[in-house]
Amino acid sequence: MEVHNVDLTISAVRPEQYPKTAYPEVALVGRSNVGKSSLTNVLINRQNFAHTSSQPGKTQTLNFYAVENQLYFVDVPGYGYAKVSKKERERFGQMIENYLTQREQLCGVIMLVDARHAPTADDVTMYQWLAYYNLPTLVVGTKSDKVKSNAWNRQESQIRKKLGMTPDDPLILFSAKTKRGKEQVWQWIERQMGMN
């Protein structure tokens, strides 16, 4: 999709704050600091529209970005950030779970993992949870610019194995720095939207 127009429509915590539109929505989930906001910015061709930070825990609400009045990206707070209190974590967990299990407009979930390392226990839990709820999921291995190209295949296999993915489950290596994988991610999104 050629993106020219994008709005931060709403930052929501509770379901009654979600946008009232029927546009399809794609959620971005993954550990804190993995690069969700950075992926969003690359997809919409902006530098820092979705706020990025080297400090984990930057995104604390569900942020709905309206793209071309056709689609929302929903930037979801990261999991696995040790410094937030247990209470805070539970509140986050509930907010994310409500959204992912109850939102009819949700047509796909992009789950980010760090391409440099094996997925964490939290990543495995998240992936299994998404599968349990039958949510169409694309795994994106990000920060691939930090992995030597001769190790890409090995890292891909490691992610697949650890998450228990089948060969048909989609996985794309991505980099917000080089924009590697951007077109493939868009193709997957457009397929979820029923555009191709």
State the Cα–Cα distance between residues 80 and 115, nearest whole angstrom.
Answer: 17
Nearer to ligand GTP, 134 or 146 (CB): 146
Does position 37 interact with ligand GTP (CB under 6 A)? The reply is yes
Q: Of 90, 35, 26, nearest to 62 (Cα)?
A: 26
Q: Does 134 bind ligand GTP (CB under 6 A)?
A: no
- Distance separating alpha carbons of residues 40 and 44, to the nearest angstrom: 6
Integer Cα distance of 14 and 49 in angstroms:
23
**Packing angle between helix 152-163 and helix 121-132, nearest 10 degrees?**
60
Pick from ligand GTP, Mg ion, none: which does 91 bind, CB < 5 to 8 A by kind?
A: none
- Closer CB to ligand GTP, residue 24 or residue 141? 141
The CB density around residue 56, as the number of other CB atoms within 10 Å, is 16
Phi, psi of 28 (to 5 degrees): -110, 120
C-beta of residue 144 within 8 angstroms of C-beta of residue 162: no
C-alpha–C-alpha distance, residues 181 and 169, integer Å: 16
| Minimum distance of ligand GTP from residue 82's CB (angstroms) | 12
Q: Which amino acid, residue 100?
A: L
The contact mask relative to Mg ion for 8-47 (x = CB under 5 A, - = no) is: ----------------------------xx----------
Residue with smallest beta-carbon separation from ligand GTP:
78
> Nearest distance from residue 100's CB to ligand GTP, in Å?
16
- Ramachandran area for residue 132 (φ above 0: left; ψ -120 to 50: alpha; else beta): alpha
Q: How many residues bind Mg ion (CB under 5 A)?
A: 4
Closest CB 75 distance from Mg ion, rounded Å = 6
Nearer to ligand GTP, 33 or 137 (CB): 33
Which one, 116 or 191, has the nearer CB to ligand GTP?
116
Binding mask 141-170 for ligand GTP (x = CB under 6 A): -xx-xx------------------------
Residues in contact with ligand GTP by CB under 6 A are 30, 32-38, 52-54, 56-59, 77-78, 142-143, 145-146, 175-177
